[in-house]
Amino acid sequence: MKCPGDLLRIDEWSAADRADHVRHCQRCSAAIRLRAAARALPRSRPPDRDLWPDIAARLADESGAGVRERGTRRVWRVAAVFLVLALATAVWLMQRQPDVSWDVARTEGAPVVGETPLLDTGRLHKGEWIETDARSRAALIVPELGEVDVAPNTRVQLVESGLQEHRLTLEAGAIHARIWAPPRLFYVQTPSALAIDLGCEYTLSVDSTGSSWLHVQFGYVALEHEDRRAVVPAGSMCLTRPGKGPGTPFSEHSTAEFREALIRHDFSSEPDALDDVLVRATTTDVVTLWRLVQTVRPTDRSRVYRRLTALTAAPDGVSTAGVLRLEEAAVDAWDHQLGLVFEEWKY
Amino acid sequence: MYAEPAADVGPTEIVAQSDNALAEQAKAGDTRAFEALYRAHVDRVYAICLRMVADIGWAEELTQDAFVRAWRRLEGFRGESAFGTWLYRVAVNVVLAALRTERRRKARFVRAEVHDVGCSATPGEAMDLEKAIAALPPKARMVFVLHEIEGYRHDEIAHAMHIAPGTSKAHLFRARKLLQQMLEQ
């Protein structure tokens, strides 16, 4: 079950779902252990000395009439202050521009928001950058949608935050996003692709060349650049290159040799790269091979499909001819068999 | 409001009465009834104050302030909730008000010694957690104590601390992360 990123929501699940999720989600598991430990702390602790004599002395100093008098005066003073504040607030609300900003909290070191070091918490306003150095980290709260952990040596800008979309630019470094919003509300632009949240948790990093790595822990993330698109499911990774966009997603358990061949196939014109991909593919890579069946040139489709069916059986009733023509029923049957049931998988 | 207690009521009888009955007597100015309430709840109030400010001396002052504030505000206690629940909220508000207004305390806040606040009756892991909580940055510590130990919701914390609910979540996120790091060390 997808991580909602909020223990209160997990508490609403059935015990079986909760236990199953916590078994697989290290973060929730750690947070639940911490919460349990906090709640098991003693609720009481006696002070080292009896405080009552001092309290009694203070009570004795207060006559009933005096207290009531002070209370009445205080009511009038508070009312007057509220009146002034209400008027000032009304004027301010009429004059101000809408404030588009996110809460941001320092988690380590001294991140810089705009040009100001963040000492504790603050606001990241639309158009502002947050920058961390090698020793600093920060947490951004995406209003009502989730949270983003900003890793060291990272530069991120809040581009937009509204009902229709929340958008960051990740220029360098890495972020870890946990989003529990409906799909297509949270976007991160990198130098090589646009990452579109489809309800997920993921890590996205950008290196000095502008290439980015996406690693999805839960749910799905779509990557887009011009007409090149990829949907990356949980447990998968994807490389994007400037000017080229996303490559083919692959399993986080794929071998280094397979990844290297796949990256050559995706981003170079080496004719033997696809052969290497097929030779190095294992049962871990069947989702990647199925993706390649749909994206390679029609003349290469047959040999990719042969390799796929050598690693895993085709769904019942699916013909090779139907797959090679990418007939909808055949594609649906394979998607269903591989667990790729999220509707936005099929662009 | 202040008055001497009724002479014909002994301490045993006072202790045996319910909090709400004691509160009614205290409203009438009976300080012995209020003392019974103090005896019943001081440990919990002190624990809240201490966890929130991580300073023993200041926690004692705030505990006294909380009971004095409660005495002054007894008219506002209508018995719709347990007296303890009402009193603990008064204590939390006293602490938060003190933190907002007494900026001179800040230096003392920063200097708070972690070993000062450990609970000697709490062994092993709990002891480590107490120390780690005390070592949190002030706002992260307050949100963590209120949310994770005292069971406040983010909207309640936001209201009490005069911050946005999102800021409360950010503090909790940060607190959890820092605590996990400290406990792993």
Distance of alpha carbon B3 from alpha carbon A96, whole angstroms: 53
Task: Kindly give the residue spans of alpha helices, DSSP state H, lying in A112-201.
Answer: none
Residue to substitute from B51, B67, B116, interface A, most A β-carbons within 10 A: B67
Measured between alpha carbons, how far is residue A109 from residues A100, A135, A198, A288, A315 in Å? 26, 5, 32, 40, 53
Half-sphere exposure of A265 (CA within 13 A, CB side): 27
Instruction: Using alpha carbons, select from B27, B3, B151 the residue that is nearest to residue B78.
Output: B27
What is the sign, positive or negative, of the torsion defined by CA atoms of B95, B97, B99, B105?
negative
Retrieve residue A216's tokens.
Answer: 């999805």
pLDDT tens for each residue of chain B, 185 residues long: 333 334 344 433 444 468 888 998 998 888 999 999 999 999 999 999 999 988 899 999 999 999 999 999 888 888 778 888 899 989 998 998 887 765 444 444 443 433 344 433 344 555 588 889 999 888 889 999 998 888 888 888 888 887 777 778 888 888 888 888 888 77
B31 and A56 within 8 Å at the Cβ level: the answer is yes
Structure tokens, A155: 């530069």
Q: How far apart are the first and last CA of chain A?
A: 24
Find, in chain B, the residue whose alpha carbon is nearest to that of A147.
B170
- CA dist., res. B170 & res. A179, Å (int): 14
Taking the C-alpha atoms of residue B167 and residue B181, their distance in angstroms, rounded to an integer, is 21
SS3 A29: helix
Under 8 Å between Cβ of B118 and A41: no
Q: How far is A103 from chain B (nearest CA, A)?
A: 6
The reply to whether residue B169 touches residue A147, judged by beta carbons under 8 angstroms, is yes
Q: Quote the tokens at residue A80.
A: 């007057």
Query: Looking at the predicted structure, is the pLDDT value of residue A202 above 80?
Result: yes
- Containing A146, the helix (H) or strand (E) segment is strand A146-150
- Residues A112-166 pLDDT 10s: 999 888 888 889 999 999 999 999 999 998 877 788 999 999 999 999 988 778 9
Which of A45, A69, A121, A148 is the mutation pick for testing B, counting most B CBs within 10 A? A45
Task: Please report where in the chains the tokens 């992360």 appear, as a residue.
Answer: B177
Distance separating alpha carbons of residues A272 and A262, to the nearest angstrom: 11
Which residues on chain B are in Cβ contact (under 8 Å) with A48? 56, 60
- The two three-digit tokens of residue B113, written as one number: 């010694």
Instruction: Report the residue of chain A nearest B117, measured CA to CA.
Output: A45
Q: Which helix (H) or strand (E) holds A106?
A: strand A101-108
Distance from CA of B80 to the nearest CA of A (A): 23
Summarised one tens digit per residue, pLDDT across range A243-290 is 999 999 999 999 999 999 999 999 987 878 999 999 999 999 999 999
Contacts of A107 in chain B (CB under 8 A): 173-174, 177-178
Q: How many CB atoms lie within 10 A of CB A86?
A: 10
Please give the pLDDT value at position A142: 84
Query: Could you tell me the two tokens for B13?
Result: 């009888």
Report how far residue A93's alpha carbon sits from residue B60's, in angstroms, rounded to the nearest whole number.
41
